[in-house]
Amino acid sequence: MIKATTLKQLFLEENFWLAENTKDTITRAVKYFVAACGNREIDRIEPADGERYKGWHLKTHRSKTTANIHLRSVKRLLNWAVETRGLIESNPLAVTKQFKSTRNPVVAYEAWQIERMIREAKSLRWKAILLAAWTTGLRRGALLNLTADNIREGFVFVEPKRKTGRTWPWEPKDKEIRQVPCVGLLQRMLDALCADCYYPLLSPKRYGTLLDRSERGILAERCRKCPEENFRRTFVQIQSRAFGRQIGNFHTLRKTFTTDSIDEGLPAHFVMKLTGHSSLKTMTYYLASRESYFAMARKAVEKRLLHTVKDGHEAPKHEAS
């Protein structure tokens, strides 16, 4: 019978098409499983090992979220051993439940905050990146992998790319082709940037570097997913100039687009198509509660209370037993 590390190797060899970050997560999950439970033969893994694995994460100061990600990865391997290879009769960790963890509240930017960030961005390219994220809701990778041919007819088209003389291989995270309306100001910015670079949201120098690496077959997947160098550092610098500190991350712009679209009355299923979310349930994790909502809720409660007092309603008195 094969051991856990061998199972991981077989799985990755057969599923070579998986994204590199997925492969890395699976590799790390098995490494930690071996550290917690030993590199035992898979038919000797027991349900108790699942709890031991979860506990190991906490003892080594890893978060419950990280533990859940790694537990799902090991479960996936064992399911593959059962369903695809028939190496074991059942998944011994099937009964192991994930940690329940408290979710942080979803945060969205206010319009004035985004306007200030755009004003503090030093280049037209970064102004366009911020405006595009705010008005299209596209992921960072989708924005940075836009080409001049993806901007047409008043829309931004998210489309996969293959290796050519002008592009490198890239696929959208959701594996779907979709289109998002492009507002006039963004269209004019992108048109100006396209005059200098086929990938308008990359600098010409960076584009040339990545294209050369792609032609030589040494372009790493992480560069295809985030082609811009020092992306996070530049975004943090913009926020520091705008607010004196970091108040959110780049992905918050995507949450802002989702929240604003729902607030403005767009059907939820249409917003899901624009953003490329896998389900309506997933999209709810992107909906923020703005300060104005709490003010409206407070006003509504006070109004109900006022009517109750005005109409002379009283709480029912308990009858003596």
Q: Above 80 in pLDDT, residue 48? A: yes
Could you give the count of Cα atoms lying within 13 Å of 45 in the half-sphere of its Cβ?
37
Helix (H) or strand (E) holding 152: strand 151-152
pLDDT of residue 315: 54
89 versus 19: the higher-pLDDT residue is 89
Structure confidence at residue 58 (pLDDT): 96
What pLDDT, on the 0 to 100 scale, is given for residue 318? 59
Average pLDDT over residues 289-311: 81
Q: What domains are there in the chain, each with its CATH number?
A: 4-83 (1.10.150), 111-255 (1.10.443.10)
Enclosing H/E stretch for 156: strand 155-158
pLDDT reported for residue 244: 97
**Quick one: average pLDDT of 167-183?**
93
Dihedral angle, C-alpha 314, 315, 320, 321, nearest 10 °: 150
pLDDT of residue 187 exceeding 50: yes
202 pLDDT above the threshold of 80:
yes
| 3-state DSSP of 19-61 | CHHHHHHHHHHHHHHHHHHCCCEHHHCCHHHHHHHHHHHHHCC
At 245 the pLDDT is 96
Secondary structure class of 161 (helix, strand, coil): strand
- pLDDT over threshold 70, residue 30: yes
Q: Which of 1, 8, 2 is nearest to 80 (CA)?
A: 8
Count the Cβ atoms, other than its own, within 10 Å of residue 111.
Answer: 10
Q: What six digits make up the tokens of 319?
A: 């009858």
State yes or no: pLDDT of 138 exceeds 80.
yes
User: How much is the average pLDDT of 33-46?
Assistant: 96
Query: What's the angle, vertex CA 103, arms to CA 251 and CA 266, rounded to 5?
Result: 55
Q: Name the DSSP letter for residue 155.
A: E
Burial class (CB in 10 A: 0-12, 13-18, 19+), 297: exposed
Q: What's the pLDDT at 82?
A: 96
Closest CA to 45 of 9, 13, 5: 5
Confidence of residue 18 (pLDDT cuts 50, 70, 90): confident
Give me the sheet containing 155-158, strands edge to edge: 151-152, 155-158, 178-181
State the pLDDT confidence band at 7, using cuts at 50, 70 and 90.
very high
pLDDT value at residue 321: 45
The pLDDT of residue 224 is above 80:
yes
Q: Comparing 292 with 115, which gets the higher pLDDT?
A: 115
Q: What is the pLDDT of residue 103?
A: 79
Q: What is the pLDDT of residues 252-297, one digit of tens each?
A: 999 999 999 999 999 999 999 999 998 988 898 888 888 778 888 8
Burial of 220 (0-12, 13-18, 19+ CB in 10 A): exposed
